[in-house]
Amino acid sequence: MIRILAIAVAAAIVPLAALAEPCPGKPQALGTERVIEVDAKTTPRVGRKHFPSTLPLRSKELVLTFDDGPWPATTSKILDALKHECVRATFFLLGRHVEEYPDLARRELAEGHTVGHHTFSHPLLSHMSLARAEAEINRGIAEDESAVYGQRRTNPATPFFRFPGFASNRGLLDRMGERGLVVFGADVWASDWNRMSPAQELRLILSRIEEVDRGIVLFHDTKAHTARMLPAFLRELKRRGFHIVHVVPAENPG
């Protein structure tokens, strides 16, 4: 119990403490503007691509999220780019990749990022029975928690979940709500599952961000073009006056 509390406290305090000194020695860095707690009681489902509402963000505020990792060739480059700009993001982990590369998952947490969950093997859960779908979700969570926190459990330290392919249904959404898991959709897609050059991806994502003004941005840290584009993307956000918001679990969930 004490260990669980310690993790919860550390998760809440680390990003807040970082705000006091936004990016030591790098006044030109993008930085992380603020931290918000996200609670399933008040915001059970977020992201306007699939749900009616999103996080309470102000104009020009973005939450950066990365799915499907960790993946060795690309996740480490993405972590380097985020670290260089003192930006904190959220990673939705795939259990089968965590099983292979647990050190990368641990590095994400150690560098102050939020670690959410994205199943074990990325099936489209809406096509499965509720029991099979939940078993797949739990297998992913248990693998992630085991690697990151050393505890194989299905009630995760950070109760954030994203459906593979955004494929959910009413029964699954209700079940996530009962369990207190916040379902993350997105407000902006990088569409980086398509083949494109880093320059093409940069132009596309910047135009989409300008159009929506604020929101949750979806990338994939398994994609080489995303990893190559990220340093320029973060510099361009700074130049255009965007701010990064980091999402963390509520310290005392309602």
Phi/psi region, residue 213 (left: phi>0; alpha: psi -120 to 50; beta: rest), is: left
192 is annotated as an active-site residue: no
144 binds Zn ion (CB under 5 A): no
Candidates 113, 220, 243, 246; catalytic one: 220
Shortest distance, position 68 Cβ to Zn ion, whole Å: 4
Candidates 67, 144, 192, 221; catalytic one: 67
Q: Which of 61, 67, 85, 134 is in the footprint of Zn ion by CB under 5 A?
A: 67
Size, binding site for Zn ion by CB under 5 A: 3
50 is annotated as an active-site residue: no
Shortest distance, position 92 Cβ to Zn ion, whole Å: 7
- From CA 79, how far away is CA 76, in angstroms rounded? 5
For residue 222 the two structure tokens come to 């398994």
Shortest distance, position 206 Cβ to Zn ion, whole Å: 22
- From CA 100, how far away is CA 180, in angstroms rounded? 28
Please, which of residues 146-165 interact with Zn ion by CB under 5 A?
A: 164
Position 29: which residue type?
A: A
- The SS3 assignment for 137 reads helix
State which residue, 67 or 192, has the beta carbon closest to Zn ion.
67
Q: Which residues, at least 6 apart from 39, have a Cβ–Cβ distance to it below 8 Å?
A: 182, 249, 250, 253, 254
Site residues (vs Zn ion, CB under 5 A) = 67-68, 164
Query: Which sequence positions are flagged as catalytic?
Result: 67, 220
